[in-house]
């Protein structure tokens, strides 16, 4: 049983290795691949030094490929990986909107992974964080409309995004003008309501991803969703303010109790104790924090809430590994050969 990571030297690649170290996934060998620039570098996994190889043009001799090298690489190479016998769990947007490719968050629609045809898509990080809170509410009360405002960390743009925040903040603190390459404007001490390309309808592609992917994962194409996505000067963890109009009225206490027994969710909701979701507390956690649960002042019987989730984990690496674990637990992947 071989597992391969493509894009092993990137921010998500590093997180994949750390998650695999703690995972229940049973496998014999881990293979690491990246671009020619990173080939030959050494990474440590479970105390063993592994050499990063150049991602090949053809098949990879692995049972599971965790791909996080960008949509272009996945689009070009994943069909060959599948033809070689691998199951590809892809972290890019290359296949998310293909009706033949399941888009999976295991706590919400894990069974969809069992119907794959070689490729399973990992959702956008913002979507993954949101649906863990929204899906249980939808199942219980029915969500008619969902309005989201996001507060997205620089790691959503990869390691280079985090590096730009740190280097340019240093510049500002030393009396120099901040520059920008990764983001559309300087990020230190600023918020930027622009993530990904603007679309013809005035929304950005990031905002539309939340709408498209939430509907696909939850399985309700009638849900009305509007999102405003904003980049903020933090390193990791995306936060989101979510307003829900419901088909059947809910109370904050009932939603709090529902989410407290929902997989992948940690309810942090005690304003008097100053306990609520924050990047400071959610970073590094597997569960998504949910709090500030209150009755909507706009929609009768509706709910407002706030979530914070580590998008390098549940929004990327953790979710991908959990998909592989789900497949193995349901007999859709072989297990390790060595005891």
Q: What is the pLDDT of residues 159-204, one digit of tens each?
A: 899 999 999 999 999 999 999 999 999 999 999 999 999 999 999 9
**Is 125 part of the annotated catalytic residue set?**
yes
Q: Indicate which residue of 14, 116, 138, 238 is catalytic.
A: 238
37 Cβ neighbours under 8 A, 6+ residues apart = none
Spans of the chain, pLDDT less than 50: 338-339
Q: To the nearest 5 percent, what fractions of the chain are helix, strand and coil?
A: 35, 25, 40
For residue 337, the model assigns a pLDDT of 55
- Among the listed residues 305, 332, 322, the one whose alpha carbon sits nearest the alpha carbon of residue 147: 305
- Among the listed residues 120, 24, 114, 113, the one whose alpha carbon sits nearest the alpha carbon of residue 325: 24
Its CATH architecture, for the domain 126-312, is 2-Layer Sandwich (3.30)
User: Which residue is listed with tokens 């994949």?
Assistant: 16
Domain boundaries defined on the chain? 2-123+316-337, 126-312
For residue 335, the model assigns a pLDDT of 77
**Is 227 part of the annotated catalytic residue set?**
no
Dist. CA 188–CA 232, nearest whole Å: 8
Q: Indicate which residue of 14, 116, 125, 227 is catalytic.
A: 125
Q: What is the pTM of this model?
A: 0.94
Dist. CA 254–CA 244, nearest whole Å: 14
Tens of pLDDT, residues 196-235? 999 999 999 999 999 999 999 999 999 999 999 999 999 9
Instruction: Give the relative orientation of helices 125-141 and 252-260 as an angle to the nearest 10 degrees.
Output: 120
Give the DSSP per-residue string, 196-233: SPBPTTS-BHHHHHHHHHHHHHHT-TT-EEEEEEEE-S
For residue 76, the model assigns a pLDDT of 96
Domains 2-123+316-337 and 126-312 share a fold: no
Dist. CA 45–CA 40, nearest whole Å: 15
Fold of the 2-123+316-337 domain: Rossmann fold (3.40.50)
Q: Are strands 143-152 and 87-90 parallel, antiparallel or unpaired?
A: unpaired
Dist. CA 187–CA 169, nearest whole Å: 8
């Amino acid at each position: 049983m071989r597992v391969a990571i493509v894009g092993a030297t990137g921010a998500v690649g590093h997180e994949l290795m750390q998650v695999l170290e703690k995972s229940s996934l049973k496998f014999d060998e881990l293979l690491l691949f990246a671009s020619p620039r990173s080939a030959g570098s050494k990474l440590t996994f479970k105390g063993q030094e592994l050499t990063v190889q150049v991602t090949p043009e053809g098949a990879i001799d692995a049972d599971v490929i965790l791909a996080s090298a960008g949509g272009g690489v996945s689009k070009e190479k994943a069909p060959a990986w599948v033809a070689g016998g691998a199951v590809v769990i892809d972290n890019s947007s290359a296949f998310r909107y293909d009706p033949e490719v399941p888009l999976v968050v295991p706590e919400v629609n894990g069974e969809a992974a069992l119907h794959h045809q070689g490729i399973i898509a990992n959702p956008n990080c913002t979507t993954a964080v949101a649906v863990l809170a929204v899906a249980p509410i939808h199942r219980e009360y029915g969500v008619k409309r969902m309005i989201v405002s996001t507060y997205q960390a620089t790691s959503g743009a990869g390691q280079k995004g985090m590096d730009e925040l740190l280097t340019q903040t240093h510049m500002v603190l030393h009396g120099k003008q901040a520059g920008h390459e990764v983001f559309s404007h300087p990020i230190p001490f600023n918020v930027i309501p622009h993530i990904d390309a603007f679309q013809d309808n005035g929304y950005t592609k990031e905002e539309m991803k939340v709408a498209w992917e939430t509907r696909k994962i939850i399985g309700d194409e009638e849900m009305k969703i509007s999102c405003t996505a904003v980049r903020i000067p933090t390193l990791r963890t995306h936060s989101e303010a979510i307003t829900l109009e419901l088909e059947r009225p809910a109370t904050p206490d009932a939603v709090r109790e529902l989410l407290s027994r929902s997989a992948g969710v940690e309810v942090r909701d005690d304003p008097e104790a100053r306990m609520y979701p924050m990047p400071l507390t959610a970073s590094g956690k597997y569960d998504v924090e949910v709090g500030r649960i209150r009755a909507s002042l706009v929609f009768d019987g509706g709910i407002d809430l706030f979530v914070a989730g580590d998008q390098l984990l549940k929004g990327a690496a953790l979710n991908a590994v959990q998909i592989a674990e789900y497949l193995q637990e349901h007999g859709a992947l072989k297990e390790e050969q060595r005891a």
